[in-house]
Chains A and B, each alone.
Chain A
Amino acid sequence: MKHDRSMKRFWVFFILASVAVSLFPLIVTSEYSVRIATIVLLWIGMAGCWNLMSGYTGYIDFGPVVYFGLGSYATAISMTKYGALFFPSVILAGVVAALMALPIGISTLRLKGAYFAIATFAFAETMKQVSLEFDRTFGVTFFEGSHGITLPLSGHSNEFFFYCVLAVTFVIVLLHYSIEHSKFGYGLKAIHEAEPAAEIAGVNTTGLKLRAYVTSAFFLGLLGGIEAYWITYITPTDVFNVQKTVQMVIMTLLGGMGTFLGPIVGASCLTLLSEYLGATFVEDYMILVGAIIIVIILIMPNGIVGTIKERKGIRFI
């Protein structure tokens, strides 16, 4: 069976890659490299979350950052206000994000195309404004407004956060694989190809979309929580920054939407590029990102992985 062989090849490749990645902090000595590696992993995870929902179904979510931000805030508030420990707080962050995604998903996933994109975007911006203005308007101290929240200093090394992010990203990548080979995944792809036809064929399209949406929100919440504790200082304009959404979209697009390797390739390329260019030439970096988007859309709309797959007929999995 071809399927079995490719599956075996995948597992060998996957285990080797994960061992190599998890040994990374032990091999390199500079803190800087570990930080960069953590950032790359974080973006792979975030782009992966976006890919899970939007890449496979074709429903373009322009507000995924809201679940990242909610996760950051859930972690920060439960740690500073209720003295909770880090790990329970992060789990809570994921749960809060998923619970929030449920009603939002139910209401917005009925919308199509541009309307879904705008609604999700509007929701993300609403949450940003609410967390900015809630305290001042109602005279309480909960979100702390634009001052932001300072989390307790962790005292953990960069390696600790590297492994935290790695664990979550690892699960997200595994999820991609299982989606590619499950009924759930075929359902999502069917929604992308022709939603009415899928519905007639008996696919519970709304249920599947909702599952994908809530799953991606849960993992974004986890990542948001971990990042908050790592950075130790969060503000609404930071964690709900629309730029984060943009990065997720572009990374996935560059790598290839709805492919397993897409987010990994896209996130690695763009993070390294921005590390190289972004620190010194911010504007040049943004101009370049704009140009990259235009070129990808015009020349290779399937992204790097999708285009190679098409040209050479290579199967990565």
Chain B
Amino acid sequence: MDTVLLQAIINGLLLGGVYAAYSAGFSLIFGVMGVVNLAHGELIMLGAFTSYWMFVYLNMDPYVTTPFAMVFLFVFGYLLQKYIINRVIEQPHIMSYILTFGIHLMVANLALKFWTHDFRSITTAYSGMNAAFWGLNVPLSRLITFCLALLIIAALWFFLARTETGRAIRATSMDKEVARLMGVNIREIYAITFGIGAAITGLAGASISPFVIIFPEMGLGYTIIAFCVVVLGGMGYMPGALWGGLILGVAQSLTATYLSAGISVAITFLILFFMLIFRPTGIVGKGLAA
């Protein structure tokens, strides 16, 4: 195989890992509550900004800041669900899309007001460093984030499968009425689920901060990618985020290499559109059907 193709695939896989990292939370929130969280990108933005401000004022390494972003966003997500989204959770789902869209507008524009339009980036000692072999380049920070993504999804899977709270979350997503009868406090579980979803998203946002441009309006683009990833992998099916992310990453990287970067975005949406029509349960077929 020629190096260009191989390099494109490597880039695609690394990109896909990043996609998977910030889409897992979206899938979790949808799977458990049926909420399509249109403010998802804002969680990433807040995570990235947490990392950025800690880097600027405390001179902390962006990867060291990830636990802080995680805690901050857990609290943010928990409160958001507990005091706002829970109030419409029993109503038709459309209410929750529009509500989260309102939250998206508010958070993004408040951030814009306080942090201005400036494009920011974090430059560390190791940014731009590559692991080079056989004429191929592997950017270091992307590799770290890729590994972190695998770790996030594994930890999330472990949490859902093996802990008491995880069991309650799974029970709620299967049948909330029966779960309620079994003594599960549904609203509390919803708040915790949103908190966890927000926390891993914030962690992902902080961990991509060394190599992306950080600005208040960055969120919407990430929300859209998360959509695509989660639909590809299967809505609500956690390991699906990994499949979806990797497939989308490779597809985008290949089209960007051989066609053009602009068309690769169009391809993303075409894939999304046709997946929804022909295979709404995702590539592996384990997602929730409509």
Contact = CB atoms under 8 A, between A and B. Distances in A.
Given A118-B231, A283-B112, A129 B266 contact: yes
A177 interface: no
B280 A111 contact: yes
Interface string A44-75: 00000000000000101000000000000000
A273 to B, nearest CB: 14
Interface string B105-121: 11111101100000000
Interface stretch (B65-73, B91-99, B139-147, B153-161): B91-99
B13 to A, nearest CB: 24
A106 B32 CA distance: 30
Interface string A236-253: 000000100010010001
A287 B105 contact: yes
Contacts of A294: 84, 99, 102-103, 106
Question: Which of B102, B228, B235 has most chain A Cβ within 10 Å?
Answer: B102
Contacts of B260: 133, 136-137
Interface in B78-98: 84, 87-88, 91-95, 97-98
B136 interface: no
A294 B224 CA distance: 21
A61 to B, nearest CB: 11
A125 B269 contact: yes
B269 A286 contact: no
Nearest to A62: B97
Contacts of A22: none
A162 to B, nearest CB: 30
Contacts of B110: 287
Nearest to B109: A286
A115 B280 contact: yes
B88 A58 contact: no
Contact residues of A: prevailing secondary structure: helix
Given A113-B93, A114-B36, A290 B272 contact: no
Interface range, B side: 35 or more
Question: Which of A116, A122, A129, A287 has most chain B Cβ within 10 Å?
Answer: A122
A116 B30 CA distance: 15
B284 interface: no
Interface string B268-290: 01101100110010000000001
A122 B92 contact: no
A136 B263 CA distance: 9
Contacts of B36: 114, 117-118
B277 A111 contact: yes
Nearest to A297: B99
A114 B110 CA distance: 27
A14 B112 CA distance: 43
Nearest to A119: B276
B102 A125 contact: no
B60 interface: no
B290 A119 contact: no
A293 B106 CA distance: 10
B101 interface: yes
B98 A293 contact: yes
A125 B224 contact: yes
Interface string A278-317: 0000011011011111100110010000000000000000
B269 A126 contact: yes
A123 interface: yes
Given A112-B290, A125-B224, A290 B262 contact: no
Contact of A287 (B94, B113, B270): B113
A240 to B, nearest CB: 12
A203 interface: no
A3 to B, nearest CB: 30
Given A111-B277, A111-B290, 8 more contacts: A58-B94, A113-B290, A116-B290, A119-B277, A122-B227, A137-B260, A137-B262, A289-B102
What 7 pairs across the A-B complex have the smallest Cβ distances? A293-B102, A290-B105, A290-B106, A129-B266, A133-B262, A126-B269, A112-B290
16 contacts: A114-B235, A118-B231, A119-B276, A121-B227, A123-B273, A125-B269, A126-B266, A129-B262, A136-B260, A137-B263, A287-B106, A287-B110, A293-B101, A293-B102, A293-B105, A301-B88
